[in-house]
Structure 1
Amino acid sequence: MLNPTWLKTLVTLLREGSFQRAAKRLGIAQPTVSLHLKKLEEQVGAQLVERGRAGCRPTARAELLLPYAEQLVMLNERALQALRAEVERVGASSNVGTYLLPPLIRTFLDDGRVGQLELNVASNPDTVSKLLTGEIDIAVTEWWEPVPGFISRPWRYEPLVLIVPAEHELAHAGAISLEHISGFDMLGGEPGSGTGRLLTAYFGKHGVPRVSMHLGNTEAVKEAVKAGLGISIVLASAVAREVQDGSLCAVPLQGLGKQLMVAWRDRGFRRPAMPKFVHHLMESTIGAGRLSQ
């Protein structure tokens, strides 16, 4: 087995570019850095670092090893954190992590329930992947497929709304038919969020509106809608500020919304069934009257 201490020294050495800076970063003597590198090179049977006037550079063999070394170092550090129960690592899909979680994290930390909380915001597929590989402890997502060894719970139901510029013909049209909406060009947001599957079922025989442009994230979508490039469908919480300041109009869509989910690894009977942050999420949802549907 590769020694995690030696691997950490290698990763730090290549990041810092010199033995002196690596020693300072690690808080060890410079000869110890050299010793760790020597032992690791002996273990793998290859030279890993080239020394030159410009500093240290990875060899071709080190470049092959480095991605795995970084992952092993990260997992080792997170395993130690888990044993000390110092950090709860939360991952969230982009919309959830951007528009819903920050105030809840603030109240959670203010309650002093845990020493530290890390938030990792990524796409929904990446967030799920990080939970499965142990990079995060809790995933708060826009969709979740059951996986053996993991527990999931509905968190809150979030309505989806049609967003248009304030001066758009649909802004004050009252009841809007699906056929009417399907005649407009739609702006697409983040891939993998699950919205496309919901819209396919929602529009049914009328057909999902043509997506004229894929913009990758909700912030870009909102700015494009303001500029008159099209209309879009987003989480209601994502446009609360814009609706309040009048820069966008959110048109309700009857019966269209997302069941947001929270998932975590099943630790068995030896640990509490529900992580502290998950418990906080559930309490906050009940308190706000936003029960899952």
Structure 2
Amino acid sequence: MLNPQWLRTFATLVEQGNFTRTAEQLDLTQAAVSQHVQRLEERLGPLLIRRPRQLELTPAGHALLAYCEEVGAADQRLQQRLSESDAEQGEVGLISPGSIGLALYPLLLEVQQAHPGLSIRHRFAPDHEVLNGVLENRFELGLVTLKPDDPRLAVSRFAEEPLELVVPAGEQVKGWSDLERLGFIDHPDGQAMAGRLLSRQFPGSPGVRNLPSRGFINQIGLILEPVSRGLGFSVLPRYARLAFARPESIQVVAGATPLIDTLWLLHRAEWPLSARAELTLNRIRPYFLPAQDLSQ
């Protein structure tokens, strides 16, 4: 078995990219860091190509880094299992899409304030990363927009969230020509979301790809900033709109038939949730009502 300290040194070296910073991070000497890497290379072969101001991993180095991640995940799972009955101590890992994440994060902070022994780790990610994060036990809880059918997962309905057409405050949008005049503020899911919603609100229209582009932003919390300044319109989920700090500068153009997505809660089916995850869910679930009950 490889020495855990050597593994920790190697993983930190890859993360820091520098022997000096690694030594400082681990409170070791540079000689000790070099010795740990040397011991690993004696067992596994060359792990690093040392270049000026850069370290490059060999195939064996990549394999060892993956092993370090597996060991770290296993250690985390062990710690969780040993303390899973304590509802007010330990870590709760949650991974979710960005829009619902904007609504969740303040609530998670409130849970942690009420229970200081909890450490809540929350990551924003698309559906496929959420699935992998839960299946690989890196996160105990996950939320996705598409319901998975993997038998390893327990899946339950968590919330409903409409897609919304959001325009600058005061704009009149009565037809497709108004959207052409405004132009589209795009984001990573923008084309897909706009295609689904606009085809319903404006049947027979040329499609979102034929609209002029007025910008692109990949940060969920900033998508409505250019909209609020009159630079264009966007389509995004309601929780992202509700989290925007200046609601008076934007408005929603409602369609005759809303387009509502379901958000699904995931966790591993083979074992029960930890008591701290149950506590966290019990605290946040009441805030996520059916879409028709959400504040407009």
* Shared fold per TM-score greater than 0.5: yes
How far apart are the structure 2 equivalents of 1:221 and 1:256? 20
Within 5 A, what are the aligned runs for 1:1-293? 4-14=4-14, 15=16, 17-18=18-19, 22-27=22-27, 33=33, 36-44=36-44, 46-49=45-48, 57=55, 60=58, 63-65=61-63, 67-69=65-67, 71-85=69-83, 86-98=90-102, 100-112=103-115, 115-170=118-173, 180-181=175-176, 184-185=179-180, 186-191=184-189, 195=193, 198-199=196-197, 202=200, 206=204, 209-211=207-209, 212=211, 213=213, 215=216, 216-240=218-242, 245-253=247-255, 254-268=257-271, 275-285=278-288
How far apart are the structure 1 equivalents of 2:176 and 2:141? 37
Q: Which has the higher contact order (CA 8 A, sep 6+)?
A: 2
Cα distance, 1:117 vs structure 2: 0.7
SS, match of residue 126 in structure 1: helix
Percent identity for Structure 1 against Structure 2: 21
What are the ranges of 5 or more consecutive residues in structure 2 without an aligned counterpart? Answer: 84-89
Does the 8 A contact of 1:266 with 1:273 survive in 2? no
How far apart are the structure 2 equivalents of 1:259 and 1:75? 30
Kindly tell me: are residues 120 and 289 of structure 1, through their superposed partners in 2, closer, same or farther at Cα, counting changes over 3 Å?
Answer: same
SS, match of residue 246 in structure 1: helix
Deviates more, 1:4-13 or 1:194-203: 194-203
How far apart are the structure 1 equivalents of 2:26 and 2:207? 55
How far apart are the structure 1 equivalents of 2:31 and 2:8? 15
Amino acid at match of 2:165: L
Cα distance, 1:23 vs structure 2: 4.9
- In the comparison of the two structures, how many residue pairs are matched? 279
Cα distance, 1:118 vs structure 2: 0.6
How far apart are the structure 2 equivalents of 1:200 and 1:26? 53
Kindly tell me: are residues 63 and 196 of structure 1, through their superposed partners in 2, closer, same or farther at Cα, counting changes over 3 Å?
Answer: farther
How far apart are the structure 1 equivalents of 2:141 and 2:191? 18
Cα distance, 1:58 vs structure 2: 5.1
SS, match of residue 139 in structure 1: strand
Cα distance, 1:163 vs structure 2: 1.0
Cα distance, 1:121 vs structure 2: 1.4
Cα distance, 1:237 vs structure 2: 3.0
- Paired position in structure 2 for 1:173: none
Cα distance, 1:104 vs structure 2: 1.1
TM-score by length of 2: 0.73
Kindly tell me: are residues 193 and 81 of structure 1, through their superposed partners in 2, closer, same or farther at Cα, counting changes over 3 Å?
Answer: farther
Does the 8 A contact of 1:184 with 1:209 survive in 2? no
How far apart are the structure 1 equivalents of 2:148 and 2:191? 13
Kindly tell me: are residues 194 and 111 of structure 1, through their superposed partners in 2, closer, same or farther at Cα, counting changes over 3 Å?
Answer: farther
Kindly tell me: are residues 28 and 76 of structure 1, through their superposed partners in 2, closer, same or farther at Cα, counting changes over 3 Å?
Answer: farther
How far apart are the structure 2 equivalents of 1:289 and 1:184? 26
Listed one character per residue, the Cα deviations across residues 106-131 of structure 1 (whole Å, up to 9, x for unaligned) are: 22112318521111112333223322
TM-score by length of 1: 0.73
Cα distance, 1:95 vs structure 2: 1.4
What are the ranges of 5 or more consecutive residues in structure 1 without an aligned counterpart? Answer: 171-175
